[in-house]
Structure 1
Amino acid sequence: MKIPLFDLTRQYIKIRQEILTEIDKVISSGRVILGENVSLFEEEIANFVGVKHAIGVANGSDALFIALKALGIGEGDYVITTPYTFFATVSCITRNRAIPIFVDIDPVTYNIDLDKVEEVLTSHPNRDRIKAFIPVHLFGQTVNLERLEYIKQKYGIKILEDCAQSIGSTWTYSDGTVKRSGSIGDAAVFSFFPTKNLGAYGDGGMIVANDDEIAEFCRSFRVHGSKTKYVHDVVGINSRLDEIQAAVLRVKFRYLQEYTNKRREIAKEYQKLFEDTKSVKEMIVWPNVPDDNSHVFHQYVIRVKNGQRDVLREFLKEKGIGTSIYYPMGLHQQKCFAYLNIPKGSLPETERASKESLALPIFPELKIKEVEYIVLKILEYRGG
């Protein structure tokens, strides 16, 4: 059996005619840049997240860069974030000539440890220069939004939520209020890279915000800093969500809840199969599936203990099973950030996760019999 980590074509087969119809409408209209689909999709995403504004841009990396700039972050400022994330979360800080402060992760959720964030905010020698915090809702699981709001208010820093992997994920507050990821930051960003839960057939990104001035800045910055054609208030960049990609995303957005439900069903099946097999517990730690449907399972990531991760991955590859490693090293270990002089071992949970984590296939069209095959082969490796 051949099982890819992700398969875009299975989904396309089911929605092909809808997609082609909408693409034809765009091209036939002659309006292929910042047209009706971009505007409508922005409105749909804003309503979905629960914010006033949404601004479509070319990709998630640009969304981070522009949004952080809109928050006023610049040269000499410090920004707290996680080292266990995709490169763009941190490159947006350095591209704005600011300085990242890496805070270690929680070993269960892989999200940034908020206790350690507060430690930094009370003890860092350059505390007065810490201007922002970028939490990442990793693998589809929301960072504690109630705690984020508390940190934002107590310490007076800007929060930019990185929701590239978490569209539709939620957090339930102590009073029973439920909020979506992306709804509480000064700004938040989404990615529509093809492998995301809501993915385009190319690149795409979105910035969301409640603040009118932040939204206005982002909207003009994406078109070279121009509010009026050929009049430039700042030196912006060219980063517009493509009209055809917006049309594609509007079709897929109608199915997002269905896709999310299927991801959760697959995650539950993995969990059931692992829990039913006691022998695997010596080697595998699998993620919990919350009862409140807060997790959207962009990735299904297990830990492989005892130094067996890479060997197991090679074994699964031989059995036709695609896997991936998110992430093979913490960003503090990347050569381009060596100038930060962060000693090895100073972020132990990140460094341990980079040696143990392994992403198994999870996408809406994955069949239960394929999940059973994957777990069977893991057990076969274990000799179970």
Structure 2
Amino acid sequence: MAVPLFDTATALEPLRDRLDEALLRVARDGRFVLGPEVHAFEEELAAWLGARHAIGVANGTEAITIALRALGVGPGDEVVVPSFTFWASAEAIPPTGAVPVFCDVDPDTMCVTAETVAAAVTPRTKAIIAVHLFGNVAPIAAIRERTGLPVLEDAAQAAGSTLRDGDGTVARPGTMGDVATFSFYPSKNLGAFGDGGAITTSDDAIAERVRTLRFHGSADKVDYVEIGYNSRLDEVQAAILRVLLPSLESWATHRHRVDARYRAAGLGELVTLPEAAPGSAPAWHLYVVRTEEPDALATGLGARGVGARGYYRTPVHRQPPMAAFQAGGLADLPVTDELARTHVALPISATMTERQIGEVVDGVAAVLAGR
């Protein structure tokens, strides 16, 4: 049987009537920008996460740029960011006038650590971008304690993940740093029917500046206090996200179970599995494993109808447009380079079945045995 890398449709089937109703509600109301649906979704998302503020924006990339500016990042500053991540994590820095400085990651969690971040900090560093990569949870508290710098959580891939600390308190990505950003691109754990994003924070001053920046640098479209952006989550996407948000917990729980079933089925005997950060329960957005010939494995699985692919084969710091920001030469990031060479994503979804899990494990075994 075919097993897609992503299955975003099956989980939506029980919600189709409610989604249709939401779309019709927006169409009949006639307010399409910063209306009641956006306001309600912002309140519901903030409450679900445990943050004081959630502010909808146009997409996850602009969310990072706006959040950095709200932290005071500007020309002459540096922002530390991992290279083993999606391009947007670093692409969003230069529009602030700041320069990206690349750091390495942990080989097991594939996230930044306090040590890898600290190694890249200079006197010009104004902020840290810590990516909760593939749904794993970066050690935000340790990074803040080690560096003393503001931390922006790039939580685009971590909706539904949790972290339990030593006293049993459970926190969600989006509430651990000074500010956090989300993407609601359709393939995300919480995906809209188009582009969308959000910025979350419990700092009132940051939230106020974010709201001003997303709306042309104005609070009222009459008086303008700075150069801002036209970056607003629209009513249609907000209405859809309001329908989906209550299901995110159960979808994340199912993703945890798929990880457990992969392990029980012996996948870890064939490839190197991702390791959850200590205390975390990742809602795996991507299930990224490692093997010596990842592209050959992906090709072989594809021939069997099983989706698989590499994502960050060329790390961000090695992409040509980033050369201009590395005047001293390319950063030396050995773990990043190794992960880029050896990783491959296998199927995972909120509705993946036991049979599909078996197909993936059997397919990996067959392809590797054939080589």
How many angstroms does 1:322 deviate by? 1.1
What is residue 274 of structure 1 aligned with on the other side?
266
What amino acid is the match of 1:287? P
CA–CA separation in structure 2 for the residues paired with 1:179 and 1:158: 18
Alpha-carbon offset, residue 344 of structure 1:
6.0
Provide TM-score, normalisation by structure 2: 0.95
Residue in 2 aligned with 1:146?
Answer: 141
Does the 8 Å contact 2:137/2:280 carry over to 1? no
Which letter does structure 1 place at the counterpart of 2:92?
C
Q: Which residue of 2 aligns with 1:124?
A: none
* Partner in structure 2 of residue 260 of structure 1: 252
Instruction: Please give the alpha-carbon distance, in whole angstroms, between the structure 1 residues aligned to 2:202 and 2:61.
Output: 20
Among 145, 148, 158, the alignment partner of 2:150 is 158
Q: CA deviation at 1:132?
A: 0.6
- Counterpart selection for 1:371 from 347, 351, 357: 357
- Aligned CA-pair RMSD: 1.8
Tell whether the 8 Å contact from 1:268 to 1:289 is kept in structure 2 after alignment: no
Query: One-letter code of the match for 1:296?
Result: A
**Could you tell me which amino acid in structure 1 is paired with residue 133 of structure 2?**
L
Do residues 247 (structure 1) and 249 (structure 2) align?
no
What is the percentage of aligned positions where both structures have the same residue? 38
Match of 1:238 among 230, 249, 269: 230
Compared CA separation, residues 106 and 293, structure 1 to 2 (3 A): closer
What is the CA–CA distance in structure 2 between the aligned matches of 1:170 and 1:82, rounded to whole Å? 21
Equivalent position amino acid for 1:253 in 2: L
> 2:120 & 2:276 partners in 1: Cα distance?
31
Matches of 2:131 and 2:83, distance apart in 1: 10
Letter in 2 for 1:377: G
Matches within 5 A, 1:21-170: 21-121=21-121, 127-151=122-146, 155-170=147-162
Please tell me whether residue 328 in structure 1 is matched to residue 306 in structure 2: no
Equivalent pair of 2:138/2:277 in contact (CA under 8 Å): no
Aligned equivalents of 1:140, 1:342: Cα separation in 2: 32
Tell me how far 1:11 sits from its aligned partner: 2.4
For structure 2, the residue ranges without an aligned partner over 5 or more in a row are none
State which of 275, 282, 289 in structure 2 corresponds to 1:295. 282
Count of matched residue pairs: 369
Is contact 1:145–1:181 with CA below 8 Å preserved after alignment?
no
Q: CA deviation at 1:341?
A: 4.5
Determine if contact 1:135/1:162 at 8 Å carries over to the other structure: yes
Query: How far apart in 2 are the matches of 1:371 and 1:317?
Result: 15
Given the two structures, how large is their TM-score scaled by the length of structure 1? 0.91
User: Which letter maps to 1:182?
Assistant: G
Does residue 6 of the first structure (1) align with residue 6 of the second (2)? Answer: yes
CA spacing shift, 1:91–1:343, aligned 2, 3 Å: same
Matched to 1:77, the amino acid is D
Which segments of 5 or more consecutive residues in structure 1 lack a partner in the other structure?
122-126
